[in-house]
Amino acid sequence: MNIYVIMKQTFDTEEKIIIENGNVSEDEVQFVINPYDEYAVEEAIQLRDQFGGNVCVISVGPKRSAEALKTALAMGADEAVLISDERMSADEYTVSNVLASFFKERVYDLILGGYFSVDNGAGQVAIRLAQKLNIPHVGSITELTITNQVATVHRDAEGDLEKVEVALPALFTAQQGLNEPRYPSLPGIMKAKKKPFKHLTLDDLKITDAELTPKTTTTAILPPPKKEAGQILKGELTEQVKQLIEKLRNTSNVI
């Protein structure tokens, strides 16, 4: 079984976000595999061990993303691919086109990814990729079983549970609860150094300029407003209600 995992490197969720000159500062920041992508990597390894085959992890992003891919290799993935090019934006439309160009030249049974990335929470890349490859997509899965090239999945549906069956090849995105990702072991870290790792650029792909033109741009990055001290309303109950309505209407502009 040929299994691919699309993954992203993100800030460690414990990191403090600092904005300097309209950009998020990356100075001395710890980067990790996007937490939801870890579930995808773990599931891919378990399926490989069950059915045989190969697990390839792939990331589209800056060169530092290689560290996240190396961690996935140390977890047990068989090979890694990093597509990195300064001519490419991080727009979800662009990233999905780059991935689609890569996969159109490959044979795959299953593509896994995280439900969304914790840095921007867009959750668009996997859906767009499945559409471009014309394969089924099921998001936010918490259980996955495969029998005779048919996948049965449970997906989290806003607190409810849906059971879906789709034929492979297909793309699934992992939700928390799908499994418990393993930590890279010392032997795994040593083996990872000898595993295949390809570095690709846009010159290695068949992709047009139009497909690389982003659909979105970031106009500004601003920190959330500082919390103001709470207020205690005084007077009779009816007077407090009047004060509250006035503040909600004239100060907070919520009614």
In order along its 255 residues, the chain shows pLDDT tens digits of: 999 999 999 988 888 888 887 778 888 888 999 999 999 999 999 999 999 999 999 999 999 999 999 999 999 999 999 999 999 998 999 999 999 999 998 999 999 999 999 988 889 999 999 999 999 999 999 999 999 999 999 999 887 899 999 999 999 999 999 999 999 999 999 999 999 999 999 999 999 999 999 998 888 888 878 887 888 888 889 999 998 998 888 887 777
pLDDT value at position 187? 94
Its sign, for the CA torsion 98, 102, 104, 109, is: negative
pLDDT value at position 28? 82
Q: What is the pTM of this model?
A: 0.87
User: Do residues 69 and 101 lie in contact, with contact meaning Cβ atoms separated by under 8 Å?
Assistant: no
Q: How far apart are CA 132 and CA 104, in angstroms?
A: 9
Unique residue bearing structure tokens 């662009």: 94
pLDDT value at position 226? 82
pLDDT value at position 217? 85
pLDDT value at position 157? 87
Domain 2-212 has CATH 3.30.360.10: no
Cβ-in-10-Å burial (0-12, 13-18, 19+) of 215 comes to exposed
User: Do residues 166 and 49 lie in contact, with contact meaning Cβ atoms separated by under 8 Å?
Assistant: no
pLDDT value at position 221? 84
In the chain, domain spans: 2-212, 225-255
